[in-house]
């Protein structure tokens, strides 16, 4: 069955039989003086921030890619090209929200997210609890579904770079049969709309209404 509500992780990929899926994300940004340091949706008191077209939030970018990856919906760059002036200094929570919407449209929700930051400074351990709470809030999950770990880049010669690795386990929000029947309902409603449109256009001579796009891509690409 094509179309329906399973976007991104659509039919024909075998995903209809999967209850859980996993996604991985990685990101890195160079430290830069004179900009605020944003990690995990928090502003952290530090002499340098992370260079980037957006606010440079390396952790939120990695989690965004993990969520998109879990439902094979592309990556952060495919939705938010770095050259687009609209995303200059943007709050990376925007990117995370879009990934969440993609996840929900595909019929999944977050089971848990685990992250590892790799950076020399600042020390993350003292603020990891607050950061987990902030990320959980942004993701709409409980704090025990979010993990934030950090380590120093030993032997990598990357002392002026912050990196983040993230994995996300996601689980189905509805049984595959429920999704199929929901798709069938949507398809039949479309057909009824088409019939009504045809009737209206034959009576009023108006143009047939075009089907609405699933979402407005003009706002994000």
Task: Give CA 146 to chain center in angstroms.
Answer: 15
Any idea which residue has 């200094």 for tokens?
89
Q: How far is the CB of 97 from Zn ion (least distance, A)?
A: 16
Which CB, 15 or 92, lies closer to Zn ion? 92
Q: How far is the CB of 62 from Zn ion (least distance, A)?
A: 8
CB closest to Zn ion, residue no? 61
> CA-to-CA distance for 118 and 90, rounded, in angstroms?
23
Give the footprint of Zn ion on this chain (CB under 5 A).
27, 61
Which CB, 90 or 111, lies closer to Zn ion? 90
Q: How far is the CB of 59 from Zn ion (least distance, A)?
A: 9
Which CB, 51 or 111, lies closer to Zn ion? 51
Q: How far is the CB of 137 from Zn ion (least distance, A)?
A: 20
Which CB, 70 or 164, lies closer to Zn ion? 164
Q: How far is the CB of 83 from Zn ion (least distance, A)?
A: 14
Which CB, 26 or 215, lies closer to Zn ion? 26
């Amino acid at each position: 069955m094509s179309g329906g509500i399973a976007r991104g992780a659509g039919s024909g990929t075998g995903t209809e039989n999967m209850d859980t899926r996993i996604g991985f994300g990685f990101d890195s940004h160079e430290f830069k003086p004179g900009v605020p340091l944003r990690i995990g949706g928090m502003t952290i008191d530090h002499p340098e921030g992370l260079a980037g077209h957006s606010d440079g939030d390396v952790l939120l970018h990695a989690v965004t890619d993990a969520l998109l990856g879990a439902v094979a919906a592309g990556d952060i760059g495919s939705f938010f090209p770095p050259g687009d002036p609209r995303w200059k200094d943007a709050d990376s929570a925007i990117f995370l929200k879009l990934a969440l919407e993609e996840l929900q449209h595909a019929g999944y929700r977050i089971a848990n997210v685990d992250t590892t930051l790799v950076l020399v400074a600042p020390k993350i351990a003292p603020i990891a609890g607050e950061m987990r709470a902030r990320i959980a809030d942004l993701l709409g999950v409980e704090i025990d579904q979010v993990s934030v770990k950090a380590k120093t880049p030993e032997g990598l010669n990357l002392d002026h770079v912050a990196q983040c690795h993230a994995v996300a386990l996601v689980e189905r929000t509805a049984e595959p049969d429920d999704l199929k029947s929901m798709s069938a309902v949507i398809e039949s409603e479309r057909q009824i709309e088409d019939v009504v449109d045809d009737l209206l256009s034959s009576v009023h001579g108006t143009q047939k209404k075009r089907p609405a796009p699933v979402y407005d891509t003009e706002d994000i690409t």
